[in-house]
């Protein structure tokens, strides 16, 4: 390839790229959520026991109740997946079911099937809806229990993904790709953690990520920054991030909200502001994520995903289990939309991937290979170099 040609390529990353650098696996997060160990509910969010001093005086009436509820949901989900290739229930499944119950009870989404499920489990969970005399909450409705369960999952995920990664050099192939002057790169990632940003920052690489330059220690969401045609590297976090917060000034309304990174105490107008709900913006769950793809910051990000894929003929996929129906649909529509479109898949465990992925991957696998639209590098991200990938371009 001539060095004078600037080739557009895209990466799609899932949580698998963070595992080699010490971030928790899905099953580890699930185990923590179901144990409730060392977690306590504070004024707004669930936090670790290390922060107990900031939560003094709040009885532990939430976590035990939520954990029992989630364990009962897990029993029902396990039954559903009993004969599906060893499919193991994880926290994303728990969040999906809890959020459906919440939305049904609050009439956010009408779903008669959910009511039948609620009727089935209600006798078992009725004791959880009864408040004790020493508890703050006078009444526990099912909608509140389901909502607290969703918040609990979000907060534990955030806690566990906030740990510092190690051995970032194991992701050198990503860094080397971003430093290669022959390519213009778009990185689409489903990760909530900040491993990728830390990896790039370590090499003084600053992608266009849709957020402004710092303003009083804050970076605000400005999607028009993606329109910079001279940008060599752009980053799109399709499922949000543990360091994104929606903020609102004191005495403000939802129309005054901003989305920012590294929050300070004041907005650009000098008004005091606080994170709405006290928790970051990222998507948890499974099929419920599809509803969020059309709203708020995610609508812009997924519009960019749809549009910018059309500007590349190569997408390199790594760490992704092909479990997101919306993402899968876009990938395979793109793959078949042009004879030159091709997927380079970096995956150390092909059999495991095919068992866990949505059926669309297996259904298209042989045809994609036959048409030379799917190239497989049978390694993990830590075992592949940028040169290994480049030779297929």
pLDDT of 368-377, one tens digit each? Answer: 999 999 999 9
State the average pLDDT for the chain.
90
pLDDT band at 53 (very low <50, low <70, confident <90, very high): very low
What pLDDT shows up at residue 52? 46
First to last CA, the chain: 9
What pLDDT shows up at residue 50? 52
DSSP assignment letter at 257 = -
Edge-to-edge strand list for the sheet holding 314-318 = 233-237, 183-189, 7-13, 314-318, 342-346, 374-377
Residue 196 has pLDDT above 50, yes or no: yes
Q: Write down the pTM of the prediction.
A: 0.92
**Higher per-residue confidence, 62 vs 165:** 165
Of 4-13, 27-36, 243-252, 260-269, where does the model show the most confidence? Answer: 27-36
Give SS3 for 349: coil
Query: Across the strands, what pairs with 246?
Result: 259
Tell me what the mean pLDDT of segment 67-89 comes to: 91
Q: Distance (Å, rounded) from C-alpha 177 to C-alpha 180?
A: 5
**Higher per-residue confidence, 132 vs 279:** 279
Provide the phi-psi class of 204: left if phi over 0, else alpha when psi is between -120 and 50, else beta.
left
- Which residues have C-beta within 8 Å of that of residue 325, sequence separation ≥ 6? 287, 290, 358
What pLDDT shows up at residue 54? 42
Would you say 226 and 186 are in contact if contact means Cβ atoms under 8 Å apart? Answer: no
Tell me what the mean pLDDT of segment 53-81 comes to: 82
What pLDDT shows up at residue 373? 97
Question: Which of 121, 122, 132 shows the shortest CA–CA distance to 64?
Answer: 132
Q: Distance (Å, rounded) from C-alpha 182 to C-alpha 5?
A: 6
Residue 249, H or E segment: strand 244-249
Give SS3 for 48: strand
The burial class, CB within 10 Å (0-12 / 13-18 / 19+), for 254 is: exposed
Structure tokens at 313: 């003929």
What pLDDT shows up at residue 347? 97
pLDDT band at 268 (very low <50, low <70, confident <90, very high): low
Would you say 272 and 249 are in contact if contact means Cβ atoms under 8 Å apart? Answer: yes
pLDDT band at 385 (very low <50, low <70, confident <90, very high): very high
Q: Distance (Å, rounded) from C-alpha 235 to C-alpha 97?
A: 31
Tell me what the mean pLDDT of segment 199-221 comes to: 91
Question: Which of 213, 186, 391 shows the shortest CA–CA distance to 307?
Answer: 186
pLDDT band at 41 (very low <50, low <70, confident <90, very high): confident
pLDDT band at 278 (very low <50, low <70, confident <90, very high): confident
Edge-to-edge strand list for the sheet holding 273-275 = 219-220, 258-261, 244-249, 273-275
pLDDT band at 49 (very low <50, low <70, confident <90, very high): low
Tell me what the mean pLDDT of segment 277-289 comes to: 92
Helix axes 63-80, 142-161, angle to 10 degrees: 90
Residue 138 has pLDDT above 90, yes or no: no
Parts of the chain belonging to CATH 3.40.50.1220: 7-23+165-242+282-390
Tell me what the mean pLDDT of segment 91-110 comes to: 95
Percent of the chain having pLDDT more than 90? Answer: 74
Opening angle at CA 86, ends 80 and 91, nearest 5: 65
CATH topology of domain 7-23+165-242+282-390: Rossmann fold (3.40.50)
Other beta carbons less than 10 A from residue 284's beta carbon: 21
What pLDDT shows up at residue 44? 56
């Amino acid at each position: 390839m001539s060095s004078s040609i600037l080739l557009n390529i895209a990466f799609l990353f899932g949580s698998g790229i963070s595992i080699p650098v010490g971030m928790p696996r899905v099953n580890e997060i699930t185990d923590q959520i179901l144990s409730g160990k060392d977690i306590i509910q504070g004024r707004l969010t669930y936090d670790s026991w290390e922060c107990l001093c900031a939560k003094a005086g709040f009885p532990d009436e939430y976590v035990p109740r939520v954990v029992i509820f989630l364990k009962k949901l897990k029993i029902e989900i396990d039954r559903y997946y009993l004969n599906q290739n060893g499919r193991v229930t994880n926290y994303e499944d728990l969040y999906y079911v809890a959020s459906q119950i919440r939305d049904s009870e609050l009439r956010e989404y009408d779903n008669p099937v959910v009511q039948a499920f609620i009727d089935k489990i209600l006798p078992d969970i009725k004791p959880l809806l009864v408040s004790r005399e020493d508890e703050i909450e006078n009444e526990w409705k099912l909608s509140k229990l389901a909502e607290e369960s969703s918040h609990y999952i979000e907060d534990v995920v955030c806690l566990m993904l906030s740990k510092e990664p190690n051995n970032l050099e194991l992701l050198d192939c990503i860094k080397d790709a971003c430093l290669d002057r022959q390519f213009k790169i778009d990185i689409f990632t489903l990760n909530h953690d900040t491993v990728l940003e830390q990896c790039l920052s370590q090499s003084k690489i600053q992608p266009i990520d849709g957020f402004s330059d710092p303003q009083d220690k804050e970076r605000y969401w400005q999607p028009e920054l993606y329109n910079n045609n001279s940008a060599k590297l752009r980053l799109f976090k399709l499922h949000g991030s543990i360091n994104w917060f929606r903020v609102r000034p004191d005495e403000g309304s939802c129309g005054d909200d901003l989305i920012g990174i590294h929050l300070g105490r004041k907005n650009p107008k000098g008004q005091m502001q606080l994170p709405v709900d006290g928790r970051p913006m990222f998507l948890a769950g499974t099929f419920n994520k599809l509803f969020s793809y059309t709203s708020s910051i995610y609508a812009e990000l997924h519009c960019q995903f749809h549009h910018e894929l059309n500007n590349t003929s190569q997408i390199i996929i790594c760490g992704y289990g092909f479990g997101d129906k919306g993402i899968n649909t876009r990938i395979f529509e793109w793959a078949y939309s042009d004879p030159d479109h091709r997927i380079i898949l970096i995956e150390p465990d092909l059999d495991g991937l095919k068992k866990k992925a949505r059926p669309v991957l297996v259904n298209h696998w042989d045809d994609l290979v036959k048409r030379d639209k799917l190239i497989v590098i049978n390694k993990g991200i830590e075992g592949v170099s940028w040169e290994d990938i480049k030779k297929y371009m």
